[in-house]
Amino acid sequence: MTMSFRTLKASIVSILGAAAAADGTFRVIGYQDQGLAAEAVADSFRTVRVYYKKGTFDRSRNSTEGPLQHDTQFAIELVSAKAAKGDLATLENPSATNAQRATALLGFQEATFEADESIDELIDKVFQVIMAADMTELGLDVGDISDRWIDEIEKTEIPSQGQFVIIGADLPLTARVVEDLTGAIPVDAEDPALTATIEDNMIDSTAADPAPAEVSGGN
């Protein structure tokens, strides 16, 4: 049985992927049925990636026999890229004239502004999808998830690639899910074969340890 955090991640990807397919201006990594209009990829692109970052299990709220309350943390990473109008290599060309450098720099600044506007728009779209009033369960059954929340938005700097100016943003998502202890890979702790294997491993480990060096007494 799949752990709930994996089910939740797949559900988030599906929700955002469906929104991306309907919107047509960005892609969700890992979601298959989507496409972008030609004009949306000619000089720009926007992507969304979701991954499980970490989880905690508060011992005071859980039993060793389960089920366990799992406080999950997901990272929703957004990227927006815009192509600069002009050759950015001109800025590093020692033979370029001041006028050529000025034109290239202007193109870079304009692309940076457009990429920033674009990432703001993408943040708006993703935030509204995830935090919508009818998305409190994020596709899971009622009772399987609680405390869904995005507590901050932070933009990130990404080095430019070729003619593309790239700006990113992080939306950390937290939610509490319930994990059942199913023993998906059964191991019988009372199995004599397991006990014998453990004992053999202990013997092998002891044999592998070097004997202590003898210390000769000095006169």
Asked if residue 59 belongs to a domain, the reply is: yes
Mean pLDDT of the chain: 81
Residue with tokens 């990429």: 115
Question: What span, in angstroms and rounded, lies between the C-alpha atoms of 193 and 190?
Answer: 9
Q: pLDDT tier at 152 (50, 70, 90 boundaries)?
A: very high
Whole-number pLDDT of residue 188: 62
Q: How many domains does the chain have?
A: 1
Asked if residue 116 belongs to a domain, the reply is: yes
Both tokens of 114, joined, read: 């457009």
Whole-number pLDDT of residue 207: 56
Q: Which domain holds residue 180?
A: 4-208
Asked if residue 215 belongs to a domain, the reply is: no
Asked if residue 217 belongs to a domain, the reply is: no
Q: Is the pLDDT of residue 15 over 90?
A: yes
Q: What is the pTM of this model?
A: 0.76
CB count, 10 Å around CB of 171?
Answer: 21
- 3-class SS at 73? strand
Distances (CA, A) of 116 to 24, 81, 106, 158, 187: 19, 9, 15, 12, 53
Question: Secondary structure of 5-30 in the HEC alphabet?
Answer: HHHHHHHHHHHHHHHHHHHCCCEECC
Asked if residue 200 belongs to a domain, the reply is: yes
Checking 103-106 for CB contacts under 8 A at 24+ apart, the result is: none
More confident residue, 137 or 214: 137
Asked if residue 219 belongs to a domain, the reply is: no
CA angle 148–154–155, rounded 5-degree value: 140
Q: Is the pLDDT of residue 104 over 90?
A: no
Whole-number pLDDT of residue 37: 46
Asked if residue 218 belongs to a domain, the reply is: no
Asked if residue 165 belongs to a domain, the reply is: yes
The pLDDT > 70 percentage for the chain reads 74
For residue 11, the domain's CATH number is 3.30.2000.10
CB-facing half-sphere around the CA of 89: CA atoms within 13 A: 1
The pLDDT > 90 percentage for the chain reads 42
Mean pLDDT of 21-50: 74
Mean pLDDT of 94-113: 80
Question: What span, in angstroms and rounded, lies between the C-alpha atoms of 29 and 194?
Answer: 43
